[in-house]
Structure 1
Amino acid sequence: MNSTEEIIISPLKEELIADINQTNDYFTVFGKVVPSFQSGTWSFEEKLFDDPKEIRFPDDQLEWSQYINNENKALFLAYKNNQCIGQIRIVKDWNRFCYIENIAAKKEVRGHGIGSLLLKKAEEWAQERNLIGMSLEAQDDNLGACRFYVKQGFILGGVDTMKQSYNPHIDTTLYWYKVFK
């Protein structure tokens, strides 16, 4: 893919619901974020794995019609040549942040600006609602995603070691924030 000019970002409509899980591709887990809290500030180091692995989240099964024409939640899909190549699902959270429930891009278009375009659309949506920023969660072993969030201006704002207790493969949930200037 050579240009993001051909990308169309569309809010969810009834006829696009079937496209939502098309962006749920495998991704490589190749390292983890090791957070540290000192003097009131979060920082982190990266630890690369000896054996990277491919994983995929289960397809989301939600009541998608709730994301259509809703003032407090939205889902935007990215298209190129009528193919769904990305999505971002967002909600207006109680703390006046736009909470990103999911962001995904097809494997073959990762690194080509689709995620950045989707985040820009989410930021516009949030600012139209006078929200103060954006937030999201990521697991500590999704280093690729965490690197992307940092590149997009997100900072680590918190850590939870209990949230994913049911899952023996996840140690820590990381909370990322981007505050609007």
Structure 2
Amino acid sequence: MPIAFEVRAVLDVVARDGGLGGLLLAERSVDAPYLKNYDALDGGPAGWAARFDVSSWGLLVARSGRRVIGGAAIAFDTAGVEMLEGRRDLAVLWDLRVAPEARGRGAGSALFRAAEAWAAARGCRRMKIETQNVNVPACRFYAARGCVLGAIHRFAYPGLPHEAQLLWYRELAPAE
């Protein structure tokens, strides 16, 4: 299932007073929209098991009838996944994707809620999500689900100097 999306706008990171006045995200339309495909950069889901021990990860599927229309992966308690910070009370929503023809119909929201429940059932108090300033729809999606922007790393991707890493956090209710 493709994760590619069309970039029509970006969130420029503006440092006020050299950064002492904080960072501001300012939305800007791009002159020429382009396709962004992170699977082309890192190999996507097919390569995860070769890079990490995914035995403790959660893998979720969204279906419409018999057809798979989306999926999510949640990293948890995995050595070598730096985003987990060595913590057992933190899960990382590693990937969430919905088939292009099914986007905007609730599958992403359902996967997000299921990821929250999966992480909470394992004792996680917080879920962390990485996205980039070139994925404005994802930023809006996570903000609409109660995620809070916790970090902006302007220089996280040396090979992609015009992209900034945005880390979102969602506090989780204890599992019932």
2:36 to 42, 52, 55: 55
TM-score by length of 2: 0.76
Structure 1 distance, partners of 2:118, 2:21, is 31
Structure 2 regions of 5+ residues with no counterpart?
Answer: 77-83
Structure 2 SS opposite 1:62: helix
Asked if the contact 2:13/2:154 (under 8 Å) is kept, the reply is no
Partner of 2:163: 171
1:42 Cα deviation after fit: 6.5
Structure 1 regions of 5+ residues with no counterpart?
Answer: 1-22
Asked if the contact 1:42/1:158 (under 8 Å) is kept, the reply is no
C-alpha RMSD over aligned residues = 2.6
Percent of pairs identical after alignment?
A: 25
Of the two structures, which has the highest relative contact order with CA contacts closer than 8 Å and spacing of 6 or more? 1
Instruction: Give 4+ residue runs of structure 1 displaced > 4 Å after superposition.
Output: 35-43, 64-67
Asked if the contact 2:146/2:170 (under 8 Å) is kept, the reply is yes
1:115 to 108, 112, 117: 108
TM-score by length of 1: 0.74
1:40 Cα deviation after fit: 9.4
> Does 2:60 match 1:83?
no
Partner of 1:44: 25
Q: Which amino acid aligns with 1:51?
A: A
- Count of paired positions: 155
Q: Which amino acid aligns with 1:171?
A: E
1:141 Cα deviation after fit: 0.8
